[in-house]
Structure 1
Amino acid sequence: MTESRSVLSPLALAGLAALVVGLGFGRFAYTALVPGLIGEGWIGPTGAGPLAAANFAGYLAGALAGAPLARRFGTATTLRLTMAATALALFAGVAPFGIVWLALARFAAGVGGAVLMVVAPTTVLRLAEPARRGAIAGVVFTGIGLGIALSGTLVPMLARAGIAVTWAALGLAAGVLTLLTWRRWPDVPVAAAAPHEKGLPKGFVLLTLGY
């Protein structure tokens, strides 16, 4: 097996996909949606701030909850359900139930994004060969930039068909990635890590908060 093939393993690509869903779609796609949300009357000119705050609050909660959830349910279950929940949170934006509903959806997407950011990279890197961890980390974290690039490029194009269509497309894309990665996650609880690696590294939590 060549270096490139081992680095681009199914698990590493699953980690990349998790960050596309959690960060690229769940967190950063909203910025590109704001003009359309205001233009179509979904929110007023002052509504963008509260929705962003709701997402950040959810992100903070998810950053704190990621490790306990992984310890309680195992990384596989946590990642599968969190990716699915993030997809549903994006789909929830389709319903024009007002700013409170959107705030709840943004909060849920924030929680999902942070949990994925905390748990997915550590799960992948824990099982990687030490000599390849740096390269595999590069593959996984490429998901953030790729997700932002996709959102920034495709959301304005989709918004021409309407905000509801855009939310639905984001939810569908997240759902497809969830299904594609469903069987890739190892069912290894965090508590099974080596003694010097108990829990999730604090550095990942701090890195998560940086986003």
Structure 2
Amino acid sequence: MGIGRFSYTVILPYMQETFAFSRATAGFLATSNYLGYLVGALVAGRLQLADKRIPFLQIALVMSILTTAFMGFTYTIMVWYVLRFISGVMSAFIFVVAASLVLDQLARIGKAHLSGLFYSGVGMGIALSAIIVSPIHAIFN
């Protein structure tokens, strides 16, 4: 989730350089992702998933991977807006559903104090994105 949600923060300057779009366009790309995250978080909190959390999480993970990957297969900014929005929705679904699964399990086994490790995964995804983007760019540039 951290990669699907935050990798474009690091990638965005390279995209701007390559495709010569404005700061406003960059801002709209970010905003479409944030709006998707907001919508996804609101919707995910209202879904009645009880016994369907794992399959729902799996679908959201696949969709997150696909929307992230498809960004590299198009140069159409409007398609990017849509992909970033969907990516935001999926990221929120992943976060809400995974949090409920992990926190329920930790509470069940009496280890709720380990919940911080779960939340640190997002930070690890952000850090990993920041570490790998520049070397990958250097290889393919």
TM over 0.5: yes
Work out the CA distance in 1 between the residues paired with 2:140 and 2:34: 25
Deviations 1:4-29 (A, max 9, x none): xxxxxxxxxxxxxxxxxx2x112111
Specify whether residues 65 and 42 from structure 1 end up closer, same or farther in structure 2 by C-alpha distance, changes over 3 A only.
farther
Give the partner amino acid of 1:34. L
Question: Once the 2 structures are TM-superposed, how far is the Cα of residue 138 of structure 1 from its aligned partner?
Answer: 1.9
Structure with the higher fraction of residues in helix conformation: 2
Question: Once the 2 structures are TM-superposed, how far is the Cα of residue 42 of structure 1 from its aligned partner?
Answer: 6.0
Partner of 1:132: 111
Work out the CA distance in 2 between the residues paired with 1:117 and 1:27: 10
Using structure 2 for the length normalisation, give the TM-score.
0.89
Work out the CA distance in 2 between the residues paired with 1:70 and 1:97: 37
Give the partner amino acid of 2:120. T
Q: Identity percentage over the alignment?
A: 29
Alignment of 1:170-189 (within 5 A): none
Are 2:9 and 1:43 aligned?
Answer: no
Work out the CA distance in 2 between the residues paired with 1:31 and 1:104: 17
RMSD: 1.9
Partner of 1:106: 84
Count of aligned residue pairs for this structure pair: 140
- Flag structure 2 segments of 5+ consecutive residues without an equivalent: none
Question: Once the 2 structures are TM-superposed, how far is the Cα of residue 142 of structure 1 from its aligned partner?
Answer: 1.5
Partner of 1:71: 49
Deviations 1:150-175 (A, max 9, x none): 01111122122448xxxxxxxxxxxx
Work out the CA distance in 2 between the residues paired with 1:134 and 1:72: 24
Partner of 1:3: none
Are 2:45 and 1:87 aligned?
Answer: no
Work out the CA distance in 2 between the residues paired with 1:70 and 1:44: 41
Work out the CA distance in 1 between the residues paired with 2:48 and 2:6: 24
